[in-house]
Amino acid sequence: MANELHADEYLSLLTPLHHSPLLSSKRAATIISRTRFFALLFAILTPSWAIIDYLVFSTAISLPLIGIRLVAGFAFLSLVLFVRPDTTLVSAYRGLLALFLIPSIFHLVVYFMLAQHTLIGISNAVAVGYAFLPFILICGLSVFPLSILENLALSSIVILIQLLVLLFNPNNLDMMSFGVTLWLLILLAGISAIAGFSQLAFMLTLVRQAVRDPLTGCFTRRSGEELLTLQYAISKRSNMPLALAFVDLDRFKDVNDRAGHEAGDLALRQAAVSFTQILRSNDILARWGGDEFIIIMPNTNIHQAETALSRQRLIGLSKRPDDGYLTASIGISERLQDETPDPHALIELADQRMYLAKKQGGNKIVREG
């Protein structure tokens, strides 16, 4: 799937800083969903193993172990209950970090507790099994769609725990076995990183194919609605302006009727390119349907939006078959100024103002009424 990536998308496999808002929200939802699933699984399995501890170890060892398991199980259950389904990476990172910190701390505490006792036979065999927990954690990274840097950060937590074991227990140190353990952890971390960014590449490709209109290359209506909902929430949370322009091409039906649908398709592609040229990197252009587009402009008040779109109106959008220029009727709304209660109201208001521009003869921008 990586060979289907565009040249400018390979950097997204290294760091999440270059991810689109839509990819980030879908990836966050996936990470949180899988985090909650594994936390629930651990919340059940961790206390359940207390039966084995009770049967294998002496009371002096088993009772503290059971207590530690119950605490860890409660921590996992809290993670399930308090990390709610969300689409923000901050929530995803918080949940994922907790999912790896809980068993890492559990491993560290259990290791030092067992190191205080001399174990033989089956109790020693079970105690050795605890040493496999870091390997399980490293392998667990492979189920999450993570960039290389994200994977490296989480792997480092697990490897750091092993280094702490070395630093605080030098008497039982076997450099050969420790070196092999560390090498194996690093090897597994590399394999998990490959699996993680392969998932990320697959998701990136699928999101791009699903959210882009195949004709114009801009966002589809569905993805435009998702992005508007996301940007509206961000705007409301930060109390920043959010402008939206509803664009309808003037007399576009004449282009199809007189020159055919191929000419109409070409005009639509050129119009999308023309709008893209005046937009900033964080502005969003979506094809709403037919010859209609919406433009989402974060951190933009209504005057700034009108100024930007007026420049495009002066130079025209694209050539018509009669050598004239294709124009558009545009309605603009803005969250703060218009006091809209939700994203749907923002679109409806811009749509109404677009129709006012149509009634005034087209090739106009209306931001009031």
Q: Is the pTM of this model over 0.95?
A: no
Residue 329 sits in a domain of what CATH number? 3.30.70.270
Question: 187 and 44, same structural domain?
Answer: yes
CA distance 331 to 338: 13
Does residue 343 belong to any structural domain of this protein?
yes
Q: Work out the number of other CB atoms within 10 angstroms of the CB of residue 262.
A: 9
Residues of the chain with pLDDT under 70: 1-4, 7-8, 166-177, 257, 314-316, 318-323
Question: 357 and 256, same structural domain?
Answer: yes
pLDDT in tens, 82-92: 888 777 888 99
Q: Where among 211, 245, 266 does a domain terminate?
A: 211
Q: Which pLDDT score, from 0 to 100, does residue 2 have?
A: 44
| Range(s) of the domain holding residue 288 | 221-366
Does residue 231 belong to any structural domain of this protein?
yes
CA distance 314 to 312: 5
Question: 318 and 203, same structural domain?
Answer: no
Question: 71 and 192, same structural domain?
Answer: yes
Question: 198 and 55, same structural domain?
Answer: yes
Question: 246 and 277, same structural domain?
Answer: yes
Question: 323 and 186, same structural domain?
Answer: no
Q: Where among 154, 180, 211 does a domain terminate?
A: 211
Question: 199 and 50, same structural domain?
Answer: yes
Question: 126 and 94, same structural domain?
Answer: yes
Q: Where among 211, 243, 268 does a domain terminate?
A: 211
Q: Which pLDDT score, from 0 to 100, does residue 281 have?
A: 79
Question: 315 and 205, same structural domain?
Answer: no
Question: 356 and 275, same structural domain?
Answer: yes
Q: Which pLDDT score, from 0 to 100, does residue 1 have?
A: 45
Question: 244 and 146, same structural domain?
Answer: no
Does residue 216 belong to any structural domain of this protein?
no
Does residue 280 belong to any structural domain of this protein?
yes
Does residue 90 belong to any structural domain of this protein?
yes
Q: Work out the number of other CB atoms within 10 angstroms of the CB of residue 149.
A: 14
Does residue 58 belong to any structural domain of this protein?
yes
Does residue 185 belong to any structural domain of this protein?
yes
Mean pLDDT of the chain: 87
Does residue 353 belong to any structural domain of this protein?
yes
pLDDT in tens, 8-54: 678 888 888 888 788 888 899 999 999 999 999 999 999 999 999 99
What's the structural domain count of the chain? 2
